[in-house]
Amino acid sequence: MSDRSRSFPLIRGPVAMVLALFAVLTAVTIVLVATPREAAAASLREVTGFGSNPGNLQMFRYVPDNLPSGRPVVVAMHGCTQNASGYASGTGWMQLADRHGFTVVFPQQRSQNNANSCFNWFEPGDTRRGSGEALSINQMVDKAEQDNGATSAYVSGLSAGGAMTSVMLATYPDVFAGGGVIAGLPFGCATSVATAYSCMSPGTDLTPAQWGDKVRAAASYSGPRPKVSIWHGAADTTVRPMNANELVEQFTNANGTDQTPEVRDTVAGYPHRVYGGTVEQYEITGMGHGHPVDPGSGAAQCGTAGAYILDVNICSAHYLVKFWGIDGTQPTPTATPTGPTSSPTTTRPPYTETATGTPTDHYIAGRVDVTEYNILGARHGYTTTITLYRCGNDWTDKADCSPLVVGYA
């Protein structure tokens, strides 16, 4: 940082005494005025000293006012040429944090690490567990969790941030319960700048098992894998839409499900597919390279359009939060669509109540029986926090009130 300080001539004599007295009176006035003021409202703030930070990244954080202890942490990573502040205000993540109650961490790349401010998702030293930028981001999560007693974390990002999301899901599956890859790329697609460009366009075609092997090799882990939501513009010429299909293959294989979707529907008019309850894909027809937003004050709306933040009438952050199941603090909406719907004009959701907890929590509360408990455990993981929806007298994990029965994912 450049030194912006300036030298001023030294003032002596009676003028100096007057100035000194004025300074004292001003200071007293400031104290008297400032003392009764309330603490500053929630804002995006830089956090330092969060760890060894081998990737030399900056950490910014947004914590809603009066956030209860234990609420989740969401990591949101900007794309190339962007920064944390612009991404935070444009994508709607701070809106969602206020609405549902969670902390958001916004890592920021430094220009000395990458001239275009891209996260280095293609550099081997930055994409291994315990190394480089991947470790720095994990240290940010540790810091945020320790400060608020959180026990769950989620990660999302756009473009290079989306590719880095794939890195974090592969290298730290024990840390993240869910992820959202927006206009991103599969983990392990590139190991240099040259291969990064070929991965972006035209793309790299591997088998699901080959992609899955890259994820399994990234960390020694046998627990439940994170849920992954994949978003891509069908008209994206920067990161070709082929990458979305390769991402589906990679994470369905890693998560132990096949590549045949059990759910095919539309959300806000866009094709949406769900694989085994652990991977979903949104194809945003007509959209180029960017993060989908839907500016407005409705319960399903968020964001402000800008460069690479595109108003396409669907708020990806809103649907990510729902897919991850961390929207349990939101009152049941009465005037906006919720879950998989075919039109944004739905006036009332089909369910009457929501409840958030692990499958065990739901079983103890009497919402599900033993058979349904095992279905939820197999589908989401027994220790994963999920949202159930009350439809009549029954509970389901589907916001459209599709029944919770064997064979339905």
Does residue 159 carry a catalytic annotation? yes
Q: How far apart are CA 35 and CA 283, in angstroms?
A: 53
Element (H, E) at 28: helix 14-34
| Residues 272/266, Cβ–Cβ less than 8 Å | yes
* Residue tagged active-site, from 159, 166, 229, 316: 159
CA distances to 57, 105, 194 from 49, in Å:
11, 14, 34
Structure tokens at 253: 């294989």
Q: How far apart are CA 374 and CA 127, in angstroms?
A: 35
Dihedral Cα 195, 199, 201, 207, nearest 10 deg? 130
User: How crowded is the C-beta side of 95, counted as CA atoms within 13 Å?
Assistant: 21
Which positions ≥6 away from 382 have C-beta within 8 Å? 224, 358, 359, 360, 376
Q: Which residues are catalytic?
A: 159
